[in-house]
């Protein structure tokens, strides 16, 4: 099949479809609690950071990448130059 691939300059798309489905369904079968978990993680992580610096909600980006073995939760927080420690609570 590889000679055909090089002949037409296109890779088979079916294996890509299969891999995408396997990863997606593994997550979907794990249950709907997943999205709640992400929301909770986001909330708590931000809470911790806010104790130390003032965070602008608009400057926070949250990304999720579901992989086969591991999932990545990426939280991007822009810390301004003039970041000052937030007033300590209590």
Contact footprint for another protein (CB under 8 A): 1, 4-5, 11-15, 17-18, 20-22, 24-25, 28-29
Cβ closer to another protein: 31 or 80? Answer: 31
46 and 55 Cβ atoms separated by less than 8 Å? yes
Least CB distance to another protein at residue 8 (A): 9
Cβ closer to another protein: 3 or 48? Answer: 3
Contacts of 27 (CB under 8 A, 6+ apart): 34, 66, 71
How many residues belong to the chain?
90
Cβ closer to another protein: 30 or 79? Answer: 30
């Amino acid at each position: 099949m590889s000679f055909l691939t090089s002949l037409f300059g296109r890779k088979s798309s079916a294996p890509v479809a299969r891999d995408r489905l396997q990863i997606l369904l593994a997550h979907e079968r794990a249950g709907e609690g997943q999205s709640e978990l992400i929301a909770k993680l986001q909330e708590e992580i931000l809470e911790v950071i806010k104790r130390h610096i003032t965070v602008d909600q608009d400057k926070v980006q949250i990304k999720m990448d579901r992989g086969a073995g591991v999932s990545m939760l990426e939280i991007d927080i822009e810390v301004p130059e003039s970041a000052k420690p937030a007033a300590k609570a209590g």
